[in-house]
Amino acid sequence: MAEKQICIMTGTRAEYGYLKIIIEKIINSKKLSLSLIVTGMHLLKEYGHTIDLIQKDNIPITKIIPMYDENDSSNSALGKAVGSSIIKFTEALIELMPDVLLVLGDRYEPLVAAIAASTLKIPIAHIHGGDVSGTIDESLRYAITKLSHIHFPASSKSAKRIELMGEEKWRIHMVGSTTIDNILNEKLLNKQEICKEFELNKSEKIALCVQHPNVYESEIAGEQMKITLQVLRDLNLQVIIIYPNNDIGSELIIEEIKKYKAHPKFKIFKNIQRKTYLSLLKNVDFLIGNSSSGFIESPIFKLPVVNIGDRNKGRETAENVIDVIHDYDEIKNAIKKVLSKDFRDLCKNVKNPYGDGKASERIVRILEDLKIEKKLLIKKLTYKV
């Protein structure tokens, strides 16, 4: 029997971190073959040129599709990137003609790929559908869900939301989040190794700061980041700061970050490889900003989190997360709270809502057994009006 070709698209460092373990299992499968398309932020120098990480992992790349123009910061840049990339993805998928396109998340890159695949009658499988967030990401995620034919939600609540959208139950497979797989299968660095690598004082508190722009508030993203950095500076904390994604407003955040490049206690990085990033989550004293890591990965590490703003509003969370607005005093008080013994003791008992570390195994097995037939492509709503 011929191998079933699975085409995976990756556009960001975070997304690749979720997909890597699936990619490796597909490569090792006797029933599946892999084609990998690399696009989006992976190709941008300002954001770390993270295609280098994929190549360092010796993952074979089938297609490279440039999507964003680093020299275009106009209001129309994203729209033009989306439009032109649909053509590029259509041409690439015509050449590859995979049996299934596998995408993850809620960004424009997977949406573009899904639109192109839908025009070619290529079945689409979607990971992390049904999640809730407080920005345009949620609309993009749900648009991808409605284009998709197989759903791999990360939690039972996400699975239920997909069902409520009218998707047939047989298409929905609650597998958990693959990042839990990564954590449980990766030998992470210890505190001593982390402090040596980042030149940190082991006896002082360490914060990890990852703050992305909220598209609905992009014009004030810089001011929001300014407040966060001021609090961290005034508390005299050691801080690992990682650049944001490339959503609208990111350049304003980066401008604020660059102002602290000479600060002795701030360590600034465009990107950090996944193993090291997970090791930071394991060993720092708290995470601050608005990264989804504060919700999905943090419970595994019992890590206190200060989540700022509405970017993740409504997302499933454990008790280790404190939500605050972009206000100096609120952020400062929240940091003091997460560093307290009482809160750290509370975090020791939090439960992770995102699976048991076997998501990638389940996804690959389902793809291996999936029948590519007319029934798969013809979607029917389960609700009536």
Q: Does the residue 182 lie in any domain? A: no
Query: What is the spatial distance between Cα 222 and Cα 285, in angstroms, rounded to a whole number?
Result: 25
Question: Are 167 and 206 part of one and the same domain?
Answer: no
Pair type for strands 63-65 and 305-308: unpaired
Residue 228, in any domain of the structure: yes
Residues 377-385, mean pLDDT to the nearest whole number = 86
Model confidence over 117-145: pLDDT tens digits?
A: 999 999 999 999 999 886 777 899 999 99
Residue 240 — φ and ψ, nearest 5°?
Answer: -95, 120
Reply yes or no on whether the pLDDT at 316 is more than 90.
Answer: no
Report the pLDDT value the prediction gives residue 216, as an integer from 0 to 100: 87
Does residue 126 sit in the same domain as residue 82?
yes
Q: Is there a single domain that holds both residue 173 and residue 283?
A: no
Say yes or no: 29 and 160 in one domain: yes
pLDDT band at 319 (very low <50, low <70, confident <90, very high): very high
H or E element, residue 287: strand 286-289
Distances in Å between the Cα of 225 and the Cα atoms of 107, 165, 252, 253, 365 are 22, 35, 8, 6, 43
Query: Within a domain: residue 383?
Result: no
Residue pLDDT, tens place only, 238-296: 999 999 998 889 999 999 999 999 999 999 999 999 999 999 999 999 999 999 999 99
Mean pLDDT of the chain: 95
**Predicted confidence (pLDDT) per residue in 11-57, tens digit:** 999 899 999 999 999 999 999 999 999 999 999 998 999 999 999 99
Q: Do 142 and 231 reside in the same domain of the chain?
A: no
Q: Does residue 322 or residue 215 have the better pLDDT?
A: 322
Asked, for residue 336, whether it belongs to a domain, the answer is yes
Residues 210-235 have pLDDT tens digits of 999 998 899 999 999 999 999 999 99
Q: How far apart are CA 360 and CA 342, in angstroms?
A: 36
The tally of domains found in the chain comes to: 2
Of 333 and 384, which is predicted with more confidence? 333
Return the pLDDT at 1. 53
Q: Report yes or no on 384 lying in a domain.
A: no
Mean pLDDT of 330-337: 98
Nearest CA to 240 out of 266, 259, 219 is that of 266
Could you list the residue range(s) of the whole structural domain that residue 210 is in?
Answer: 189-347
- Are both 341 and 305 inside the same structural domain? yes
Domain with residue 68: its CATH number is: 3.40.50.2000
What pLDDT score was predicted for residue 317? 86
Let me know whether 147 and 217 are in one domain.
no
Answer whether residue 184 is part of any domain.
no
Phi-psi region of 186 (alpha: psi -120 to 50; beta: other; left: phi over 0): beta
Query: 150 pLDDT band (50/70/90 cuts)?
Result: very high
H/E segment holding residue 269: strand 266-269
pLDDT tens for each residue of 338-347:
999 999 999 9
Q: Do 251 and 317 belong to one domain?
A: yes
204 in the same domain as 162: no
Cα–Cα distances (Å) from 127 to 118, 124, 136, 147, 173, in that order, read: 17, 10, 18, 13, 10
Strand partners, 242: 210, 269
